[in-house]
Amino acid sequence: MDTATIEELKERLLNLKKEINSRIKKNLEKVNSLQLKGDEGDFSSAVYSRQVLYDLIEKDRNHLKEIEESLYDIEKNTYGKCKRCGKEIEIERMKSKPTAKYCISCRRVIESGK
């Protein structure tokens, strides 16, 4: 992968990181603003809303971890190389999913459980 493409993908990763950090912060503020009082319906609704927000936060934190790993791989000059076979990951795949860790062939093998 050429340097310009890596820089382009790095910029996308950094922008995604900012976006996700902002979303996590907003969702944490929403969690803290939920009132766990009122009648049974209000309480149940607030508990459900909290759980949904916690699930979203967890999903974002996992995505953030993938981004951090990709940024680390850029620093180590291993970004864009399949973690399973070591071959370069297809550029189209990296552009559509800049946190990709596996080439399409290895991804299929992993998903099939073989």
- Assess whether 64 and 112 both reside in one domain: no
Q: How buried is residue 72: exposed, middle or buried, by Cβ count under 10 Å (0-12/13-18/19+)? A: exposed
pTM: 0.87
- Assess whether 19 and 44 both reside in one domain: yes
* Domain span holding position 45: 3-79
pLDDT at 114: 65
Contact by Cβ (8 Å): 103, 89: yes
The number of domains in the chain is: 2
CA dihedral 92, 95, 96, 102 (to 10 degrees): 70
Cα distances from 62 to residues 68, 85, 86, 91, 111, in angstroms, run 10, 24, 24, 23, 19
pLDDT at 59: 98
pLDDT at 97: 96
Mean predicted lDDT score pLDDT of the chain: 94
Q: Which residues of the chain have pLDDT under 50?
A: none
Contact by Cβ (8 Å): 103, 87: yes
- Assess whether 37 and 53 both reside in one domain: yes
